[in-house]
């Protein structure tokens, strides 16, 4: 049987009153939270991949499998701080096409 995995691309924005965190800190925080809430098994099925992060604007794209989208959204909503810096991670736009996600990012960065 052929199993087709469909990807979803979530455009997100980091909001903070202080310096924006580096991509590595955001990655590790999301992975940690995902493992704590949904377990190691859940994390392996998520297929998370971070791309196009702009440290000045605080915007980027997270890729995940379509079945893990709602779980990723839960995790993004749960995060309130990274390395003791208060932040909010806002999922701005979700799409199945990476080019569409990138063009949304371009509009944001204008």
Strand order in the sheet with 59-65: 49-54, 59-65, 7-15, 88-95
CB 11 within 8 A of CB 101: yes
Nearer CB in complex with another protein: 22/74:
74
Q: Give Dmax over CA atoms of the chain in angstroms.
A: 50
The least distance separating another protein from the CB of residue 50, rounded to whole angstroms, comes to: 19
Residues found near another protein in the complex (CB under 8 A): 13, 15, 17, 36-37, 70, 73-74, 76-78, 80-81, 86-88, 90-94, 97, 99-100, 103-104, 106-107
The least distance separating another protein from the CB of residue 2, rounded to whole angstroms, comes to: 27
Nearer CB in complex with another protein: 17/41:
17
């Amino acid at each position: 049987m052929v199993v087709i995995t469909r990807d979803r691309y979530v455009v997100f924005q980091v909001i903070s009153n202080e310096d924006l965190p580096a991509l590595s800190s955001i990655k590790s925080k999301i992975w940690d939270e995902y493992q704590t809430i949904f377990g190691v098994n859940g994390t392996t099925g998520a297929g998370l991949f971070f791309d196009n992060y702009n440290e000045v604007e605080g915007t980027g794209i997270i890729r995940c499998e379509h079945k893990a989208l709602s779980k990723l959204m839960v995790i993004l909503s749960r995060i309130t701080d990274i390395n003791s810096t208060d932040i909010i991670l806002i999922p701005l736009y979700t799409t199945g096409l990476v080019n569409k996600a990138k063009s949304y990012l371009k509009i944001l960065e204008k």
